[in-house]
Chains A and B, each alone.
Chain A
């Protein structure tokens, strides 16, 4: 069973993604800001991280920077799931090695679960890599 960490400050969305991932057989942990997210990620390395960008305390970008600095988190796969589609954040996230930068409002929970499953499948992701 894959362990997934959802870092999302909006409780409504966090609960929804947790429900969906749980029903799809994932073991889910949630964090309501980047700081808590970082702590959980460091304690027990998750198989996958779903990361929001605009969050209190520690933004998604700051989270990524600290995660990548640490050996434990250097290669944890991350998908950014944000409603923020600003050039600056997108480029930074890409530089920090995220798998994808997805826009929340254009995807359903099912779409997201499918993305994650593809990355976790032993064959690897079959779609095109992002540059």
Chain B
């Protein structure tokens, strides 16, 4: 059995097919243009670039004669042209008007202007008179000339809206009357207007963000400068205090009673702490601003680890911690660093482990998973650090609430360590969970030969 279709039915089906095909074609046209607009949005961060590319795409894909985009910034009461089809007739007309697009301003109060009207009413507007577009041109003769050059018969304006805010308008002009625009074309323009709103809002947000960012950078620089200045000013008096205290302790002022010696030593400790803090702050700005002096050389990391380890043995013993150093003999441990600075890093990690661990163990371990990398870990059985805290802990001046009141510190140790390790081409991090202790580690590339 075969399906038989008579002539009438065939015609009906053919018409149906044609309509469906047209729908499909139109849907495809819409999608193509919207997709282009989205791609432009993703790649563009400047208002002028975006507007120009948008209006070019719309005009060429939908075969208009010309198009333009105007924006109203909150700062003043004018609309500015941020995009215009760069066709020969347009350029000729522009030359007639003085030649400069950026000189064209349309007042917010100019409600005769079709772009302003669309902006204020938040609705699609159209006009069959070019004078309603070029309201800033006073001479009617000139408008007539431009009409001739461009062949424009009508212009449609859409407001560019995002959420509750109107950001501007865009206009398209054609050589026929407005009513000849097809329903599909109008539909497409409506969708284009929506995408335009999203894209323009994104650009404005981005511009704002940049402004804020610039401001923040400026403030940060000011703050750094202030810290440096204050720190420099603090050092002279602190040096004097240190000097006089040491002279008294050395007996330069005669014999002093034992209790006084005890008090003076406390004062020396307090002052030394201040000096360290101030030096740390200055070091931070020096590293950050690239003014740090690095005495780079090939250094034996095992030796550094051993001597820092020994330096903290007394304080670990005072806290009755089990204190261990694990260092396989076979390690390839030459690294290219500034010896004093890497010493500082290891000292920061070990001193933290001892400082923030009340019972249990502190263990320093050197290891090697590949011949190219050496790893130093400081493993403690202290309070541990939560994942959220781990994210912040290498930041400037960060101290965790748990340690802020109980221990003394500046919150600069880990920050400096990170800057330094990264400067030496390595990585630094922490493995920890609350209540289970912490393991702070860093890795450096191994130097194979001198």
Interface of B is mostly: helix
Report the bound CA distance from A10 to B240 in whole Å: 10
Q: Does B239 contact A (CB under 8 A)?
A: yes
Contact B243 A13 (CB under 8 A): yes
Report the bound CA distance from A20 to B237 in whole Å: 17
Contact B235 A83 (CB under 8 A): yes
Contacts of B237 in A (CB 8 A): 12
Closest Cβ–Cβ distance, residue B236 to chain A (whole Å): 5
Report the bound CA distance from A12 to B240 in whole Å: 7
Closest Cβ–Cβ distance, residue B423 to chain A (whole Å): 14
Known: A13-B236, A83-B239. A110 touches B246 (CB 8 A): yes
Report the bound CA distance from A12 to B236 in whole Å: 8
Report the bound CA distance from A118 to B238 in whole Å: 26
Contacts of A12 in B (CB 8 A): 236-237, 240
Contacts of B232 in A (CB 8 A): 54, 83
Known: A83-B232, A109-B246, A110-B246. A13 touches B293 (CB 8 A): no
Contact A105 B279 (CB under 8 A): yes
Contacts of B242 in A (CB 8 A): 105, 108
Closest Cβ–Cβ distance, residue B162 to chain A (whole Å): 51
Known: A10-B236, A105-B238. A87 touches B246 (CB 8 A): no
Closest Cβ–Cβ distance, residue A111 to chain B (whole Å): 9
What string of 1s and 0s marks CB contacts (under 8 Å) between A1-31 and chain B? Answer: 0000000001011001101100100000000
Report the bound CA distance from A39 to B252 in whole Å: 32
Contact B293 A108 (CB under 8 A): no
Range of interface residues on B (Cβ < 8 Å): 20 to 34
Q: Does B247 contact A (CB under 8 A)?
A: yes
Contacts of B236 in A (CB 8 A): 10, 12-13, 83, 104
**How many inter-chain residue pairs (CB < 8 Å) link A and B?**
54
Contact A87 B292 (CB under 8 A): yes
Known: A12-B240, A23-B252, A87-B292. A105 touches B246 (CB 8 A): no
Contact A20 B239 (CB under 8 A): no
Closest Cβ–Cβ distance, residue A6 to chain B (whole Å): 13
Chain B CB within 10 Å, residue with most, of A13, A17, A83, A90: A83
Q: Indicate which residue in A20, A105, A108 contacts B235 across the interface (CB closer than 8 Å).
A: A105
Q: Does B275 contact A (CB under 8 A)?
A: yes
Closest Cβ–Cβ distance, residue A49 to chain B (whole Å): 19
Range of interface residues on A (Cβ < 8 Å): 20 to 34
Contact A13 B240 (CB under 8 A): yes
Closest Cβ–Cβ distance, residue A114 to chain B (whole Å): 11
Contact A16 B291 (CB under 8 A): no
CB under 8 Å from chain A, chain B span 22-75: none
Q: Does B422 contact A (CB under 8 A)?
A: no
Closest Cβ–Cβ distance, residue B194 to chain A (whole Å): 57
Known: A23-B252, A87-B293, A105-B275. A110 touches B238 (CB 8 A): no
Report the bound CA distance from A38 to B244 in whole Å: 28
Known: A12-B237, A105-B238, A108-B242. A20 touches B247 (CB 8 A): yes
Chain B's closest residue to A85 (CB) is B293
Contact A87 B291 (CB under 8 A): yes
Q: Does A43 contact B (CB under 8 A)?
A: no
What string of 1s and 0s marks CB contacts (under 8 Å) between A101-120 and chain B? Answer: 00011101110000000000
Report the bound CA distance from A13 to B242 in whole Å: 11
Closest Cβ–Cβ distance, residue B112 to chain A (whole Å): 66
Contacts of A106 in B (CB 8 A): 275
Sample (25) of A-B pairs whose CB atoms are under 8 Å apart: A12-B240, A13-B239, A13-B240, A13-B243, A17-B243, A19-B247, A20-B243, A20-B247, A20-B252, A23-B252, A83-B235, A85-B293, A86-B291, A86-B293, A87-B291, A104-B235, A104-B239, A105-B235, A105-B242, A108-B243, A108-B246, A109-B246, A109-B247, A110-B247, A110-B250
A interface residues with partner B (beta carbon < 8 Å)? 10, 12-13, 16-17, 19-20, 23, 54, 83, 85-87, 90, 104-106, 108-110
Among all A-B residue pairs, the 9 with the closest Cβ atoms: A108-B246, A87-B293, A83-B235, A12-B240, A10-B236, A104-B239, A105-B239, A109-B243, A16-B243
